[in-house]
Amino acid sequence: MAKIGIIGAGSWGTALSLVLNDNDHEVTVWSVLEAEIEMLNREHEHKDKLPGVMIPESITFTTDLKLTCNDKDLLVLAVPSPFTRSTAHMMSDKVKDNQLILSVAKGIEEDTLDRLSEIIKEEIPNAAVAVMSGPSHAEEVSRKIPTTCVVGAEDKNTAEYIQDLFMNPNFRVYTSPDILGIELGGALKNVVALAAGVADGLGYGDNTKAALITRGIAEITRLGIKMGANIKTFAGLTGIGDLIVTCASMHSRNRRAGILIGQGKTMQEAMDEVKMVVEGVYSAKAALALSKKYDVKMPIIEQVNLVLFSDKPAKEAVKDLMQRDKTDEITWEGY
């Protein structure tokens, strides 16, 4: 049995607490929101985000960050990506040297273009950091629907240790050394999912969705390779796998927000209606900045930014994507 602290009591943090509790680990979950912790302790149910899923009393919920971090075999950082830096900063004086921290959120910091693992290392330099990502809606994980994820770490022993903590008949975990690729896939698919949602909101069909998914993974892969990631990652769980589920499922807050934008709502109106952090909105500018920094063409990412932040009509964005200069899918030279 391991002692595990989960930082963040939202849908994903709570769902992972259930997985780890099922595996007979001692789990403590923290939230900065007192009302959220009071509800979880009183109702044993996250009525806002995981309604109908009962939470066993063996899981401890608290607002005491020191208690959550102290003497733990693993800390799981599960706050939404815009709050990763501020939360890691709060944790920095409460963790032991070489503390293993698993980042499970998805995003890229807009101002610095840092990935979440880089942010954690900056704020908690004495920690060891790993990441976990994949097609894994909390709503389904919490209901024990079979799910697969991938853990990335700098060394294989660390990845396999985390794999063993999480693995059970309903939650399968693979390992990978490609932290960079895992984080890029997890963050950038949210931006493409916004585009997929916009297409749904405009009333377009399966052909359009398939085009966005396939051309979206092409853009993500081009950038990832240029940054030094492994191409195989983008054909895996945190690449095409996560992109498919996020573009296709109504559990996806990014797709839901995109649908509302396609129906004519502003970005802020869509975010307010979804009532959850729409991480693709926060990653969109960073994705565009990365494309320019590494000189990689990412037309879908570019059009999403124009729709979100420059009030470009969604139909016009689709028209401009369709009428770009003709090109090859696979180059003829050297084929």
Contacts of 180 (CB under 8 A, 6+ apart): 115, 224, 227, 228, 229
Closest among 117, 61, 121, 62 to 92, alpha carbons compared? 121
Helix residue ranges, H only, the chain: 11-22, 34-43, 65-69, 84-91, 116-123, 138-141, 156-166, 179-201, 206-227, 242-248, 253-262, 267-274, 279-293, 299-309, 314-322
Q: How far apart are CA 18 and CA 142, in angstroms?
A: 7
Q: Are 79 and 105 in contact (CB under 8 A)?
A: yes
Amino acid at 8: G
CA angle 126, 128, 131 (to 5 degrees): 140
Give the relative orientation of helices 179-201 and 253-262 as an angle to the nearest 10 degrees. Answer: 30
Q: Are 189 and 246 in contact (CB under 8 A)?
A: yes
Catalytic residue among 49, 189, 209, 285: 189
Closest among 185, 172, 178, 124 to 153, alpha carbons compared? 178
Q: Are 87 and 9 in contact (CB under 8 A)?
A: no
DSSP SS3 for 106: coil
DSSP SS3 for 171: strand
User: Across the strands, what pairs with 226?
Assistant: none
User: What strands lie across the sheet with 26-30, from one edge to the other?
Assistant: 60-62, 26-30, 3-7, 74-77, 100-103, 128-133, 147-152, 171-176
Can 189 be counted among the known catalytic residues? yes
Catalytic residues: 189
